[in-house]
Copies of this chain bind each other. A is one copy, B any other.
């Protein structure tokens, strides 16, 4: 015997799925209870474009966390028969390859009962024939109710927004921003410790960010959102390999500091780890036609000197920088982060296409 037949006789393939969900469902109910519904913030999102993390103020973030937690705490409740997005049509336009983010958005939309049209490849599109994004936006106005756009050019989102009469979400524009990833990151932190929602939490946290804020879109958007919760942050340590001449874009650090964040830089990952409560690690920076792996010597594994209570976050997909030996440890919150991203996107999409009223507690 060979192949899967052999594996099955060897007992490797059980008829019962054996893997328990040990790290996925972390505490959305606690987070839900910790926030009071104030739905006017959600209603105000109706027909809004989502281009930048900078658009989100603290009260709106709290309400989005709450709605995401409500979805996550009871995933079946809003599927059949409520289907808040029934009759709504999403244009999922991924001109830069991505399965993870695309499927995360599409899953969110389908879970709410909506329909989807996907573009998964620039080469099969009119853009390959030289069509402008402005004209594509005009076309999208006629075809759907919402657009999710990923493109490797920074200016793509703004070009589309200028012509769209339906809302768009920036799902990553080159090295600029990835606001919904940052929403999911922060949602994970809040699920982990709902007490951090307080204006001035009793215990502040120290966050390590392994990456280059100037060049990594997930890091850029995350730092912006963290500035809305500066009261909970003892310090942010930006950990890098020293290779980049400029760690920050012009004005980037100054803005964050002005918002109340304390930021320090370091090149000594293992030296910093024992003092960090949250470690956010990412190694990919987007460049024109592809990506670049950075900080090759900055790696985490089960033997890294992590604080016992520390959680590790990663936007995924991962490379060598995040060892699978951490997967079965209590530090692994990156899988919970990926899971929560779906519910966070459900929350955002519901509001953008004006179906908030269908999922509010009090109408």
Residues in chain A within 8 A of chain B (CB atoms): 1-5, 7-9, 12-17, 19-21, 24, 44, 47-49, 51-55, 79-80, 86-87, 89, 91, 94, 97-100, 103-104, 106-107, 110-111, 115-121, 123-131, 134-136, 138-144, 154, 157-158, 161-167, 170, 173, 176-177, 220, 224, 249-252, 255, 284, 291, 316-319, 324, 335, 338-339, 341-342
Give the distance in Å from the alpha carbon of A165 to the alpha carbon of B98 in the complex.
23
Contacts A100-B126, A128-B97, A142-B338 hold; do A8 and B54 have CB atoms under 8 A apart? yes
Give the distance in Å from the alpha carbon of A195 to the alpha carbon of B163 in the complex.
32
Interface residue from B129, B138, B317, B324 paired with A338 (Cβ < 8 Å): B138
Interface residue from B111, B121, B250 paired with A124 (Cβ < 8 Å): B121
Min CB distance, A174 to chain B, in Å?
Answer: 8
Give the distance in Å from the alpha carbon of A51 to the alpha carbon of B125 in the complex.
24
Min CB distance, A307 to chain B, in Å?
Answer: 24
Consensus secondary structure, chain A interface? mixed
Contact (Cβ within 8 A) B99 A110: no
Residues of B within 8 A of A128 (CB): 97
Contact (Cβ within 8 A) B164 A17: yes
Interface residue from B1, B106, B125, B165 paired with A99 (Cβ < 8 Å): B125
Residues of B within 8 A of A167 (CB): 17
Give the distance in Å from the alpha carbon of A111 to the alpha carbon of B24 in the complex.
31
Residues of B within 8 A of A126 (CB): 98-100, 317
